[in-house]
Amino acid sequence: MKFARIVFLIAGIYGILVIAPQYFLEQTLAQQSQHPFYHPEYFYGFLGVTLAWQIVFLMIASDPIRFRPIMFAALVEKLGFGVAIPILYVLHRVPLNMMAAACIDLVLLVLFVMAIFGTAKVKT
């Protein structure tokens, strides 16, 4: 249980530190990618949903046994980005630096799976 608590706490804090500042970086990110954001609603929608998940991770960290069922949905959150970005990279649709972010999500995915198995042994 302690492992799950630490994993989800780190994931939540890390995610907030990475996602929240992006609310103020739309123009900078558009300039860096050399493409304007034609649909900013997708950008801000992604940020909002992703930031909400970071709060869910913090909730899971507060009581991993109680919130264990939500850990399975957390796998989907990490899987979506962690799998999509390598595919997009192979198709030359995202730059290499996005692969680093995807790798972090894949590492967290593995840690989340370990947390799920670790909490399965704990009796409520």
Q: Could you read off the pLDDT of 65-95 as tens digits, one per residue?
A: 999 999 999 999 999 999 999 999 999 998 8
Residue 124: per-residue pLDDT: 56
The pLDDT value given to residue 36: 77
Residue reference for tokens 């869910």 = 56
Distance from chain centroid for Cα 110: 12
Contacts of 85 (CB under 8 A, 6+ apart): 94, 98, 99, 101, 102, 105
pLDDT, tens digit, for every residue of 101-112?
Answer: 999 999 999 999
SS3 (DSSP) at 58: helix
8-26, pLDDT tens digit by residue? 999 999 999 999 999 999 8
Q: What is the mean pLDDT of the chain?
A: 93
